Structure 1
Amino acid sequence: MHGELVHNLVTALQYPKKLAIVKCSAHRKVTDKIGQGNALVDRVAHETAMQLSTTSMYVVKSQAERWHNAKQDILDIQKSASVKEREQWSEEGELDDEGCWRNKQMDKWKLPIAFVQPMVQMAHGLAHVGASTITKLLTQVWEHPEISNTAKRVVQSCLICLQYNPGKGTRTPAGGFATPTAPFEVLQMDYIQLERCNNLKYVLVVVCAFSKWIEAYPTKDNNAITTAKVLLKEFFPRFGVCRLLWNDNGPHFVGEVIKYVLKGLGIKQKFHAVFHPQSAGLVERYNATLKLKLAKIQASKSLTWPDALPLALLSIRSVPHSRIGLSPYEVVFGRPMNIWGVPKPNSVYDVPCVLMNDYLAQLTDNLVSIHQQV
């Protein structure tokens, strides 16, 4: 499509013997060649900007192209199905236009038995997630009766899981506070302490009470100034200013600098009950989950905890919550995290949005539906 333009550019580049970059004064009302050139550039830039701002033709990458690539992956996986499996699929499933087998009623792709074990191993991953989580992750997209049993066998035979998984104890309740109505309105935060590594010893953990989205920031200390810096430089610029912030009454959360920052931003602060961890149940549970995942990742890949932290966060954010069946990523962004490369049938990836406005409309509908489930 741009062959002629490229040819003209290459041809023009062959003419000069030498190239030089000369700084010229811009935006001057003069009639010399430099002034005329600057005026032309300004005029073209202004016209182009006006065209973009007055139309809705912001083109995004076609979802159809992404969907085509995913369908090819599905076809490659389903090629390994035996004759008996294909006969069974034909009785209870449906073949779509591209030749992919799926369960139409459940909106899931048929998974051959040859791929059940590899898929389960991949879902178990570096974070060593549990059997129920593996089953939830895979059965969002795939259908096979042996997924659950295989997940249990994989976890039960994993040496790292046997070493680090705790016994069943009393589950800490999430704590009593009004249910928020949107992501990042209400936050809980706390510090955890780890072994010192590269001058880092603490992690500030921030959890969204609505979406269960977790952020974790490694720090060298845990004083009030560090807390304020993390909130102002890291969290609030990315996710916006919250309405309510829950934390304990340690000096890192009650210092004058914290009070000044929260007051200036109009954030209400509430404190957990002293010596009553249940009032901070949400962040306490995520503290324990984060520590466990870090330990497993470090044990399996010999990583330092700062290097293992992004992998642990990826695992927590992408796993569906036990109560609502949606991952924190899905609650925040309106679609499942694309870590498998194969979306489920009739998902948001299946909508061929070419214009940005169409994509935003579809995304808004998805978020409204998801937030109602939360």
Structure 2
Amino acid sequence: MVVPKAKVPDVLQLYHSGCSGSHLGVKRTLLKIRERFYWVHCRDDVDDWCRKCTSCAAVKGPQIRSRGALKLYNVGAPWERIAIDVAGPFPESESGNKYFMVVMDYFTKWPEVFAIPNQEASTVADKLVHEIFCRFGVPLEIHSDRGRNFESQIFQETCRVMGTHKTRTTSYHPQSDGMVERFNQTLERYLAKVVEKRQRDWDKHIEPFLLSYRSPVHESTSVTPAFANFGRELRLPADLITGIPPDAPCSITDYANDLRNKINDIYEHVIQTGQQTSQKMKTRYDRKMNSKGFDEDSLVWLHNPARSKGKSPKLQAK
């Protein structure tokens, strides 16, 4: 039977969405229709109908995770832009701490970690002001996830008063805070190796870890975080045993002049190396790009893997 164009939607509704279709895929829907009907561009219409079926899309979820082009952000000076995050909860330590707060500089990759009893906005803001701003100066920009403590009025007002711009990760996309998230994983793996059986001494191992993390060369800058931050390397406990060549004696003025020239060279090197590393990472990342992007005001599906309690996960929309 040849179907008039005006009746095509009725046929598609009946043989895909209705009781005769049961929301089967394109191939099976097309076979059933072709056994009974004919119209021009039948396959294209069936494919388009099944693809736009909201019930099918909601239950199946994304078959291929879309991936857009990687956006780069290159900083030009130490403590110009920092990332902040809170990890936990962990077993309450003997000092009463349950979380650790991480602050990391995007330029030097220098990390600071503070064990804290809670993740309230007032606690986080107090640590940020007294332990970061008062020691390293106020950054131009602070980047965080969308945690309630970072989005709170207290934290926002602290940033406003101190004159720093607050940015946040994209919704449902914590990878845009990848530097600090990766650091958290490294620290947590280390703590899992060294804590006692009761796991109540985890906060005592943070500072030794930081000494070890700050002293080796960072792959994205090709210098150590300590050298990028201070213009000199850290003296490690092992150096007291093996010994290191002493610096030539000089006056404070000569040392300051040499340090100034050295730091300028360090900054140029870190900027150049960072840009090269970022571009290589972008090239690798964009090879798997499969998203054409979206226009403003476009309607999109939101993949939500969370499941409602009391309902079968297999019978819920994705």
Answer yes or no: same fold by TM over 0.5: yes
Amino acid corresponding to residue 75 of structure 2 in structure 1:
P
Relative to the length of structure 2, the TM-score reads 0.58
CA offsets per residue over residues 269-318 of structure 1, 9 Å max, x none? 11001221210100101111111122223269x98111111111111111
SS in 1 for 2:114: strand
Post-superposition Cα deviations, 1:219-252, rounded to whole Å, max 9, x if no partner, equal 1110111111111121111111000000011111
2:125 aligned with 1:195, yes or no?
no
Do structure 1's residue 369 and structure 2's residue 265 form an aligned pair?
yes
1:366 maps to a residue whose letter is K
Change (3 A) 1:343 1:209: farther
Match of 2:219 in 1: 322
Q: Which residue of 2 aligns with 1:181?
A: 76
Q: Match of 2:252?
A: 356
Matching of residues 1-374 of structure 1 within 5 Å: 176-193=71-88, 194-198=90-94, 199-298=96-195, 304-339=201-236, 340-341=239-240, 349-353=246-250, 355-374=251-270
Instruction: Give the whole-Å Cα distance in 1 for the aligned partners of 2:80 and 2:123.
Output: 22
Q: In the comparison of the two structures, how many residue pairs are matched?
A: 195
Structure 2: tracts of 5 or more residues without a match: 1-69, 271-318
After superposition, the C-alpha distances for 1:149-200 in whole angstroms (9 at most, x for unaligned) are xxxxxxxxxxxxxxxxxxxxxxxxxx84521111111001110112211321
Between the aligned partners of 1:305 and 1:264, the Cα distance in structure 2 is: 34
Q: Give the direction of change, closer, same or farther, for the CA distance of 1:234–1:311 in structure 2 (3 Å limit).
A: same
2:93–2:200 CA contact under 8 A, matched in 1 = no
Q: How does the TM-score come out when normalised to structure 1? A: 0.49
What amino acid is the match of 1:360?
Answer: A
3-state SS of 2:218 partner:
coil
CA contact (8 A) 1:297 1:303 kept: no
Q: Distance in 2 between matches of 1:225 and 1:182?
A: 28
SS at 2:195's partner residue? helix
Give the Cα–Cα distance (whole angstroms) in 2 for the partners of residues 177 and 266 of structure 1. 24
Shift in alpha-carbon separation, 1:352–1:343, aligned structure 2, 3 A? farther
Say if 1:243 and 1:268, in contact at 8 Å, map to a contact too.
Answer: yes
Aligned-residue CA RMSD (Å): 2.1
| Corresponding residue SS for 2:92 | strand
Contact 1:180 1:186 survives alignment (8 Å):
yes
Equivalent position amino acid for 2:152 in 1: G
CA distance in 2, matches of 1:343, 1:213: 25
SS at match of 1:285: helix
Give CA-to-partner distance per residue, 1:329-365, whole Å, 9 cap, x none. 11001011121246777xxx53321x21111111112
Distance 1:326 1:343 in 2: 21
CA contact (8 A) 2:78 2:108 kept: yes
Q: What SS does structure 2 have at the residue aligned with 1:245? A: strand
- For the residues of structure 2 that align with 1:364 and 1:351, how far apart are their CA atoms? 17
CA contact (8 A) 1:297 1:312 kept: no
**Structure-2 residue corresponding to 1:77:** none
The code of the aligned residue for 1:181 comes to: G
AA paired with 1:369? D
User: Which amino acid in structure 2 is aligned with residue 267 of structure 1?
Assistant: T
Task: Please say if residues 104 and 112 of structure 2, whose CA atoms lie closer than 8 Å, have aligned partners that are also in contact.
Answer: yes
Q: Tell me: CA distance 1:299–1:177, structure 2 relative to 1, closer, same or farther (3 Å).
A: farther
Conserved 8 A contact 1:225-1:257: yes
CA distance, structure 2, for counterparts of residue 335 and residue 240 of structure 1: 20
Distance 1:334 1:366 in 2: 7
